[in-house]
């Protein structure tokens, strides 16, 4: 307890010296936290743009559908299956879909298209076409004989909203799929390639078009907490073990997205490691300065019989207090910066915006407010401070009292 009191008083005995050391820790935590917040915000945007608003974090499919995506591997979702899915506490919505490929033809042009049959109400929880409308209006019911096209597909077909589009394809078990539909509007999704081929149909209209009444290719699950995906999948697999269904996470369906995030995260670790080294040597310099300035004081203490270990312990406690205070204040300074850029993300224009859109990203960069981003960086900087303070502490414990007092 005596050492604690002495260490605390020593910190504030020379405020300027202590504040300089503390400031270096605060700046280190601030820089590291803001950098990681920006990176994690970018990853969250990539995942949310591709997964949270299109594929879904979890999908239930007929066994084998993902390896052979044909309508022959579709299924009928019975009431018992829907009841099991809706009973999961983390599942806030079930979005049924039927998906296939077809040829979309206008008066003069035709293009390959991805046809997705959607439940008009349920889909508002996932793609939310109503929010992504660029022109026209949304569907009124699941039987409406109309389609919504990706914004680029409309121009590629050289037609306008209100015109008709012919859909040609192959339905369930090889049946012919043909239909003429009104183009009710266009949508813009955060995927450049999908905007060139997307055709949205009301669910029952698409099932009739594909000669697959009541059949679905997937049930996308809307989850409240993406962090609980693995546990939710395990529970669903246990409940559906007797049925021929696959329960897939977005990492299984989109491994290339997960791999690109991990690769980028790996390169960012190299950058932040360089920051840690720079920060570490900065802290080493300030702590070394703090101890060098007090050489005379330590020489006197040793001369009057103070154990060297006691001096090292008091110095260690001083550095511990400074590191704790600096880390805490660093987090307090980091949070408002991250919060501001989360509410007001950095927007890109011109060529940079075009590059981001080509990678299916929205042209803006929000920061993450995940608490782990901040406390992990604070803990790392705290540990770095203690590690880089070991050399000055060692130097202080081996001081020659005569030389120290002469200096």
pLDDT in tens, 112-127: 999 999 999 999 888 8
Among 6-20, 202-216, 235-249, 370-384, the least confident range: 6-20
pLDDT at 402: 67
pLDDT at 265: 82
Mean pLDDT of all residues in 153-165: 92
Q: Reduce the DSSP state of residue 90 to 3 states and report it.
A: coil
pTM of the predicted structure, to 2 decimals: 0.73
pLDDT at 29 over 90: no
pLDDT at 147: 94
118: left (phi over 0), alpha (psi -120 to 50) or beta: beta
Confidence label for 359 from pLDDT (cuts 50, 70 and 90): low
Q: What is the mean pLDDT of the chain?
A: 84
- 243, 247, 253, 259 alpha-carbon torsion, rounded to 10°: -140
pLDDT at 90: 85
Q: Which of 217, 240, 212, 242 is nearest to 75 (CA)?
A: 217
Mean pLDDT of all residues in 380-388: 83
The residues near 300 (Cβ < 8 Å, ≥ 6 apart) are: 401, 405
Long-range contacts of 114-117 (CB under 8 A, 24+ apart): 114/194, 114/197, 114/198, 114/199, 115/167, 115/169, 115/199, 115/201, 115/206, 115/209, 115/210, 116/198, 116/199, 116/200, 116/201, 116/206, 117/201, 117/202, 117/203, 117/205, 117/206, 117/207, 117/209, 117/210
pLDDT at 79 over 90: no
pLDDT at 88: 86
Mean pLDDT of all residues in 296-320: 77
Answer whether 164's CB lies under 8 Å from 132's CB.
no
**CA 162 from centroid of its chain's CA atoms:** 38
Among 15-24, 221-230, 252-261, 288-297, the least confident range: 288-297
- Round to whole Å and give the CA distance between 276 and 13: 29
- Round to whole Å and give the CA distance between 377 and 384: 10
- Round to whole Å and give the CA distance between 41 and 4: 40
What is the phi/psi pair of residue 241, to 5°? -60, -30
Task: Specify the pairing of strand 245-249 against strand 346-347.
Answer: unpaired
Confidence label for 340 from pLDDT (cuts 50, 70 and 90): very high
Task: Please compute, for residue 159, the number of CA atoms within 13 A of its CA located in the half-sphere on the CB side.
Answer: 26
What is the phi/psi pair of residue 118, to 5°? -125, 145
pLDDT at 138 over 90: yes
- Round to whole Å and give the CA distance between 214 and 98: 10
- 225, 32, 315, 317 alpha-carbon torsion, rounded to 10°: -10
Among 60-64, 199-203, 348-352, the least confident range: 348-352
CB 216: neighbour CB atoms within 10 A?
21
pLDDT at 120: 92
- Round to whole Å and give the CA distance between 9 and 2: 11
pLDDT at 162 over 70: yes
- Round to whole Å and give the CA distance between 57 and 88: 14
The residues near 397 (Cβ < 8 Å, ≥ 6 apart) are: 308, 309, 311, 312
Question: And the tokens for 93?
Answer: 């919505």
pLDDT at 351 over 80: no
More confident residue, 404 or 21: 21
High-pLDDT (> 70) share of the chain, % = 94
């Amino acid at each position: 307890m005596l050492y604690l009191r002495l260490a605390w008083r020593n910190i504030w005995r020379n405020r300027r010296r202590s504040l300089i050391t503390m400031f270096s820790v605060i700046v280190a935590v601030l820089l590291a936290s803001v950098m990681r917040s920006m990176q994690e915000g970018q990853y969250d945007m990539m995942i949310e743009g591709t997964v949270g608003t299109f594929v879904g974090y979890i999908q239930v499919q007929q066994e084998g559908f993902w390896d052979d995506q044909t309508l022959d591997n579709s299924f009928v979702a019975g009431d018992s299956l829907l009841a099991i899915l809706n009973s999961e506490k983390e599942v806030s919505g079930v979005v049924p879909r039927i998906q296939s490929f077809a040829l979309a033809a206008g008066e003069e042009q035709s293009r390959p298209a991805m046809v997705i049959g959607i439940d008009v109400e349920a889909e508002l929880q996932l793609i939310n076409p109503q929010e992504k409308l660029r022109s026209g209006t949304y569907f009124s019911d699941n039987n409406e004989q109309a389609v919504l096209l990706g914004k680029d597909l409309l121009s590629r077909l050289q037609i306008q909203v209100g015109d008709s589009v012919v859909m040609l394809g192959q339905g369930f078990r090889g049946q012919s799929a043909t239909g003429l539909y009104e183009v009710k509007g266009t949508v813009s999704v955060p995927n450049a390639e999908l905007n060139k081929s997307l055709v949205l149909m009301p669910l029952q209209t698409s099932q009739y078009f594909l000669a697959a009444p009541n059949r679905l290719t997937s049930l996308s699950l809307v989850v409240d907490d993406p962090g609980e995906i693995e546990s939710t999948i395990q529970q669903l697999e246990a409940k559906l073990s007797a049925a021929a269904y696959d329960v897939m996470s977005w990492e299984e369906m989109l491994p290339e997205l997960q791999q690109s995030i991990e690769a980028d995260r790996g390169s960012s670790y190299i950058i932040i490691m360089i920051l840690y080294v720079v920060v570490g040597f900065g802290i080493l310099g300030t702590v070394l300065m703090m101890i060098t300035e007090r050489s005379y004081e330590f020489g006197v203490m040793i001369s009057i019989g103070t154990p060297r270990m006691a001096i090292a312990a008091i110095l260690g406690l001083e550095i511990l207090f400074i590191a704790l205070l600096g880390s805490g204040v660093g987090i307090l300074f980091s949070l408002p910066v991250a919060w501001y850029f989360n509410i007001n993300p950095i927007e890109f224009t011109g060529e940079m915006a075009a590059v981001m859109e080509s990678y299916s990203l929205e042209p803006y960069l929000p920061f993450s407010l995940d608490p782990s981003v901040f406390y992990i960086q604070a803990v790392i900087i705290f540990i770095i401070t203690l590690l880089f303070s070991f050399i000055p502490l060692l130097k202080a414990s081996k001081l020659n009292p005569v030389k120290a007092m002469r200096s």
